[in-house]
Amino acid sequence: MTHEDASSPAASSLARPVSGANLPDGMQRAAAFAPINIALSKYWGKRDYERNLPLAPSVSVCIAELGTLTIVAPNLDLDGNVMLINDKPADQKALVRVGRVMRSVRALAGTEVRAGVRAVNTVPTAQGLASSASAFAALARAATAAYGVGLDDGALSGIARLGSGSACRSVHGGFVLWQRGERDDGSDSLAEQIATPEDWPLRAVIVHIGEGPKKTPSGEGMRLSADTSPFFSAFIDTCFRDVPECLGAIASRDFERLGEVSEANCLAMHATMLATRPGLIYWQAATVEVMHTVRRLRAVGVAAFFTIDAGPSVVVLCEAGAVDGVCTAIGGIPGVVKLTRTRVGGGAHLVPHG
């Protein structure tokens, strides 16, 4: 197995043009953008930690505008992949995950040629805003194009999943179901689109809340919850009930029902996290205040609900007419750093590059 080394000389190779004349046919530099996604019924528990196979299915929405732009440049001079994230060399943990994605793309392409990878996030990392989901969906889309591998979006989601489980849901846009799958090799644990952004053009307000003490990364947190949280298996059972309820609410465009099941599922995941030893407390004071505020708004007829991943930031999903009221009510809460008004958006796609 090749060691993917951040300190290899080749970080600079990203700036160098690829010697296209020498690259095998079909290989070229490619760039892709992928959005973050937020789960409505969450993924918190794996049946396979290497392949990121979940214990339960999950449902998500892609969020427009926020995400990761990634360029993949195959390069015959490299003997290992190199990667810059926001212009800094990727750390060893990120390189291991990138290596899994790139190995599978190389195997499909039947080549040993390595690549320089450059990723730029338009969303802060480690705030619970799924930057790893957008990063690996963008990598899968750009790398398959760069190596000339043609896959449908379902198969592409399986490649993105190798980097980060939730990344498979950022390949498709709109409302997405990630199947648990039964096979050990993960070939049936793929994501599929269940409704487009145009089918149900919901709005989203991203409530950025600054990071407190260093958080436990999702994969590590899931392992700890599985080993120690008394609520873990109850949460997994809950997901098997919540996913069909989410799908039903999406199919009938029933906002109230979607809000009810999504908030309940989010809080059940956080209850599982809180009961882990040591307790995984991802919330800040502002996180809790935002939840109360959204519920107060809803009590007076504002169509909005919240959901939170493994971090302090909150995503408020709402109908178009509710956006102004939500922003006014939440904007003044101490600890809220920024609000981003956005909407349910499209999935990973190739973009022109220089």
Residues that bind ligand DP6 (CB under 6 A): 39, 42-44, 52, 58, 130, 132-133, 164-166, 218-219, 309-310
Minimum distance, C-beta of residue 134 to ligand DP6, in the bound complex (Å): 11
161, two tokens:
């999943």
Minimum distance, C-beta of residue 187 to ligand DP6, in the bound complex (Å): 17
Minimum distance, C-beta of residue 23 to ligand DP6, in the bound complex (Å): 31
Question: For the chain, where are the alpha helices, taking DSSP H only?
Answer: 92-109, 131-146, 153-163, 218-228, 232-251, 255-274, 285-299, 323-331
Amino acid at 336: V
Nearer to ligand DP6, 42 or 180 (CB): 42
Q: Which residues make beta-bridge pairs with 62? A: 37
Nearer to ligand DP6, 133 or 314 (CB): 133
Minimum distance, C-beta of residue 128 to ligand DP6, in the bound complex (Å): 7
Cβ-Cβ contacts under 8 Å for 303 (sequence gap 6 or more): 255, 256, 259, 318, 319, 321, 322
Nearer to ligand DP6, 307 or 342 (CB): 307
Nearer to ligand DP6, 13 or 238 (CB): 238
Nearer to ligand DP6, 45 or 197 (CB): 45
- Say which residue the tokens 């930031």 belong to: 313
Minimum distance, C-beta of residue 315 to ligand DP6, in the bound complex (Å): 11
- Say which residue the tokens 């591998």 belong to: 149
Residue 149 CA to residue 143 CA, distance in Å, equals 8
Minimum distance, C-beta of residue 95 to ligand DP6, in the bound complex (Å): 14
Nearer to ligand DP6, 105 or 239 (CB): 239
Q: What does the angle CA 266 – CA 176 – CA 32 come to, to the nearest 5 degrees?
A: 110
Q: Which residues make beta-bridge pairs with 34? A: 68
Residue 172 CA to residue 162 CA, distance in Å, equals 16
337, two tokens:
């750093």
